[in-house]
Amino acid sequence: MTALADMDLGAARVFAVNLDGKAMAALLRAEVKQQIGRLAVGGATPGLAVALVGDDPASQVYVKGKVKACEEVGIASTLRKLPDTTTQDELLGLVDAWNADPAVDGILVQLPLPKGIDQRAVIDRIAPTKDVDGFHPHNLGLLASGRPGLVACTPAGVMRMLSVYGKAYGWTPAGKRAVVIGRSITVGRPMSLLLTNADATVTVCHSRTPDLAGRIGEADLVVAAAGVPQLVKGAWIKVGAVVIDVGIHRMADGGLCGDVEFDAARLRAAAISPVPGGVGPMTIAQLMRNCALAASARRGIAID
């Protein structure tokens, strides 16, 4: 099998290296499929339980992609579709049942949740060992202390992308100035912790950060997860910087864009992730990896 580090990203370029999340995700899924094969030999096929509450169109698309990825790598998935009238107690009861089910290694409650359901209460109810989203305070605490645990899928996927680029081009986050735009528990906070653990000097920016352009202009690495279309202008990017765009937005013409002004940024960056086809596929692939890790830890079967 071809290792992620061996993937050819292209030796010559006019613009920034395109960090092809689709290609990287395909390789990661292939690795995970082999790991799940080792679990299956030990009689432990991983199980992922997914709850989809309400009829949010974007959530339905995301869940469909996750279920399909499970089928590709050999994870047994269970999808429970619940109406938007579902109460918090009903959802918590479902989580409790999955926590107690030995066939379930990972639990995923698709966000956002309908009004009237406390998102934090639901996240906190998931057993940390089955928290494949990596949002539970226990797993965030492990990450903050630099100890192994289940890490949020998008930041973990970003680190995998940076590793592929780094091995191909001799780049490392260590000693670099990194700017993370956004401070959510889903991306910004764990991303900043992962980069700190990788010995980068990290600045976390947000809506109240003064002189955002100046901060970004000093950064060797920019991770944009603000949720604002094309917030980061190409002219702000330091020449030779690596740019990771986590955002995805629907434009008026029906096309998609990210948090970064892509066409202008790629004229200055050394490498940049596209939207779509960048971070998104890596997030789902990393979810599969987290399921395998959770099953490995719970069942005591090594996969690496």
pLDDT tens digits, one per residue of 244-273: 999 999 999 999 999 999 999 999 999 999
205 in the same domain as 270: yes
CB under 8 Å to 43, separation ≥6 — which residues? none
Same domain? For 156 and 272 the reply is yes
Q: If pLDDT is split at 50, 70 and 90, which confidence band does 274 have?
A: very high
In sign, the C-alpha dihedral spanning 273, 11, 9, 167 is negative
Q: What is the mean pLDDT of the chain?
A: 94
168 with 257, same domain: the answer is yes
Percentage, residues of the chain above pLDDT 90? 90
For residue 14, what pLDDT is reported?
58
pLDDT in tens, 164-191: 999 999 999 999 999 999 999 999 999 9
Sequence-ordered list of residues with C-beta below 8 angstroms from that of 99, at least 6 positions apart, any chain = 107, 125, 126, 127, 130
Residues classed as catalytic: 66, 110, 133
| C-alpha span between 196 and 145 (Å, rounded) | 11
Q: Rounded to whole angstroms, how far apart are CA atoms 56 and 190?
A: 26
**Same domain (yes/no): 248, 188:** yes
Q: Which domain holds residue 267?
A: 152-280
The CATH number assigned to the domain holding 124 equals 3.40.50.10860
Domain count along the chain: 2
Q: Is the pLDDT of residue 6 over 50?
A: no
